[in-house]
Amino acid sequence: MIEAAKQELIRAAQVLAAAGCLPATDGNFSIRLDNNRALITKRGVEKRNLRVDDFTVAHLTDEQPREASTEWQLHRCLYVARSEVNAIMHVHAPHLGAFAALGKLPDINLLIEAEMMLGGMALVPYVEPGTSALGEAAVTHGAASGVLVLARHGIVSVGSSVREAVHRMERAEFLARVELGARLLAR
Ligand SMILES: [Zn+2]
């Protein structure tokens, strides 16, 4: 099961890297293994070149496992608070990132697929990355949303599967790109 989960996350990272969402060592990915544990990327690795030894298993009670991504608390808080979430993607996407930089959300009503498929979007006010406070803010402000825009930081998508979380991220980034283009056209 763990090996299959690694392969799913490696493929997810390749898709999101191709979309320009993973500069340098940015981003982190996880999948829920059971009620107590999740598989998450290690800190400091290039997500576009993920290998099978770039993951670690962390218990949901662990504050910050040594090898785990520095955003473990973000993942941990979401898994603990939301039983429907089985996969979490965190990236620094260029077009959604423009909205995040200004602390804004794209207009989900601009595209019907976004409205239907994203599971809602929520803006999370700026909180220092890598803190448990960011995880708590993602739970409080994210509510039941499928996509969370972290102000001045990046994007989180969640899903019942890796496939759903990746598709939500791709669709949200596409929505952001379309809105930026549409705003230019409308000037
Ligand atoms: Zn980040």
pLDDT of residue 3: 95
The residues near 63 (Cβ < 8 Å, ≥ 6 apart) are 73, 132
Q: How remote is the CA of residue 40 from the centroid of ligand 1, in Å?
A: 14
Short-list 110, 86, 98, CA closest to 166: 86
In the 8-state DSSP scheme, what is residue 110? G
Q: How remote is the CA of residue 167 from the centroid of ligand 1, in Å?
A: 19
Q: How remote is the CA of residue 137 from the centroid of ligand 1, in Å?
A: 14
Q: How remote is the CA of residue 186 from the centroid of ligand 1, in Å?
A: 32
Q: How remote is the CA of residue 27 from the centroid of ligand 1, in Å?
A: 5
Question: Average of pLDDT values for 160-167?
Answer: 98
Q: How remote is the CA of residue 130 from the centroid of ligand 1, in Å?
A: 8
Residue-wise pLDDT tens digits, 99-129: 999 999 999 999 999 999 999 999 999 999 9
pLDDT of residue 1: 87
Question: Average of pLDDT values for 83-108?
Answer: 98
Buried b (16+ CB within 10 A) or exposed e, 15-48: ebbebebbbeeebbbbbbbeeebbbbbbbebbbb
Q: How remote is the CA of residue 36 from the centroid of ligand 1, in Å?
A: 24
Rounded to the nearest 10 degrees, the angle between the axes of helix 94-101 and helix 162-185 is: 70
Q: How remote is the CA of residue 187 from the centroid of ligand 1, in Å?
A: 32
Q: How remote is the CA of residue 3 from the centroid of ligand 1, in Å?
A: 25
Residue-wise pLDDT tens digits, 27-70: 999 999 999 999 999 999 999 999 999 999 999 999 989 999 99
The residues near 117 (Cβ < 8 Å, ≥ 6 apart) are 167, 168, 171
Domain architecture of the chain: domains with CATH: 2-185 (3.40.225.10)
In the 8-state DSSP scheme, what is residue 133? H
